[in-house]
Amino acid sequence: MKICPKCGTELSDESKFCTNCGTPVPPASASVPVMPSQGAPKAPASVPVMPAGNASGPAPVPLMASAAGEKTGSVPKKKRSPGKILIAAVLFLLLGALILLVLRFLGSSAKAVELNECVEVAFAGYEGDGQVSYYVNPNTLKKQVEKALGESVESSEVDRMIRMIDLDVTLKSKAETESGGDGEDPLEFSETDISHLSRGDVINVRIIYDDLQRSYPDIEFKGKSFDVEVRDGLKSYASLDPFRFVELGFSGASPFGKIDRDACGVSGDCPDEYLPYYQVSYYRLDKMSDLAVGDVIHMTYTQDGQRAMRADGYKASRTEADYTVQNTDMARYIRGLSELDQTGVDRIRAEADDRIRARCADKYKDPDAAVFLSAHLMIPKEGNWGSRTLPYLVLFYRAQYTTGEGGSSETAEAYLAVRSSALWFEKPEDGIPEEISFSIPDFSGADIYTAMQDMENKELIQKELYQRFEWK
């Protein structure tokens, strides 16, 4: 049951307007029924009471009784704290900003193409000579672009995009090792040298796509520089010593020996598969001539040889080596008195005696006219060795002979000097000790002097380029 607030007419619960005066009637929950009586009782303090009056007069203002007994024209409202209002406003703004950022991120990520994910980097080759290959994978780029656009893309269009992408690859750092390899400092390297990579090296890849972004402004391309460490893909070289089986060939005699390239070769125990790496042309020697026993020859294995090895998976364990010339490598001239033993002198003297006997028989008609006096070894002084100044032995003899005939005959003396050829030791053969080699000119080469002093002056003192050693 509803009561009209203006005229007090009883109305049904479904009525929205008073059937008596036409006044709008609030819902049933908003009104409290009042029982009419002769002296209408006082309404509750919190319930508005509408007194009966003229239906056509102005509507009376409802009065509310407060707890203190005062009447007001409206229901009092609870005031809100200003601080709480400010906090609520701030939180509302933050929530809006967060929603905006999320929407923006979702919108941008849906159209972004991550170029870093499209770049493929791989390594191949051998340790120390590794190489890097890099390219933009067309399949990966196609999927990313189609995801960003939400539609399929022709492969030809993807190829066009790839042509607008440049990859700049440089060497960022070298792996620190105990040795730099081939004598190089591992901390010194060229950023552009990416063809001699080792495990642990780091390369940097920079993606350049300015032209691509300008050509496709509706797509957001993302790409940044990134590092790649060399780990997988490189093989290890097999080590090979290029000097292990090499054999040098010599000609001439020390100290004028020479390298004979035709005589250079490889030892017989060298495996056949290694022979291609021991070619004579792969070696450089710092000294080729005027070689003496005891000289040190510095050998270098050339870059051509090293490349030939690497092409077959080998790497030279060393690229430089020293070789000391041995007595067995070449003939050698006598360098001092200690090298001339009694056997050698006896051999020279025996041949010289034959020449002197022949000379005396021809000159004095007496082959036994001369006797041996002394032998002198002549060695060129340092710096004076040459084709015309070589070591030799000069032997002195004194001859006594008779001049005139019959009672007028007299005994006279003459002094003879016989010089040997250059004295040198032949190159010893396997199992055969070295032996001195020489020759004595025939008798016409024996010089005759009338006085001992003249012979010594001419044969010894005037030979200023030589050191003189008397054999006793």
pLDDT at 105: 57
- At residue 404, φ and ψ (nearest 5 deg) are 80, -175
pLDDT at 96: 81
- Count the alpha carbons within 13 Å of 54 in the hemisphere toward its beta carbon: 3
193: closest CA among 201, 306, 21?
Answer: 201
Residue with tokens 């020996």: 257
What is the dihedral angle through the alpha carbons of 159, 165, 170, 175, rounded to the nearest 10 degrees?
Answer: -60
Rg for the chain (alpha carbons), in Å? 61
* C-alpha–C-alpha distance, residues 277 and 309, integer Å: 7
pLDDT at 406: 63
- pTM reported for the whole predicted model: 0.57
pLDDT tens digits for 302-340?
999 999 999 899 999 999 999 999 988 988 898 888 888
* C-alpha–C-alpha distance, residues 206 and 226, integer Å: 7
User: What tens-digit pLDDT sequence spans the chain (472 residues)?
Assistant: 788 888 888 888 877 788 888 788 777 654 444 444 444 444 444 444 444 444 444 444 444 444 444 444 444 555 556 777 888 888 888 888 888 776 665 554 447 999 999 999 999 999 888 999 999 999 999 999 999 999 999 999 999 999 999 999 999 999 876 444 444 444 455 777 888 899 999 999 999 999 999 999 999 999 999 999 998 899 999 999 999 999 999 998 999 999 999 999 999 999 999 999 999 999 999 999 999 989 999 999 999 999 999 989 999 999 999 999 998 898 889 888 888 888 888 889 998 998 899 889 988 889 999 999 999 999 999 889 988 899 999 999 999 998 877 667 788 999 999 998 889 888 877 666 667 787 776 555 688 999 999 999 999 999 999 999 998 7
pLDDT at 106: 53
pLDDT at 393: 92
Parallel, antiparallel, or unpaired: how do β-strands 265-266 and 296-301 relate?
Answer: unpaired
Q: For residue 49, how far is the Cα from the chain centroid?
A: 103
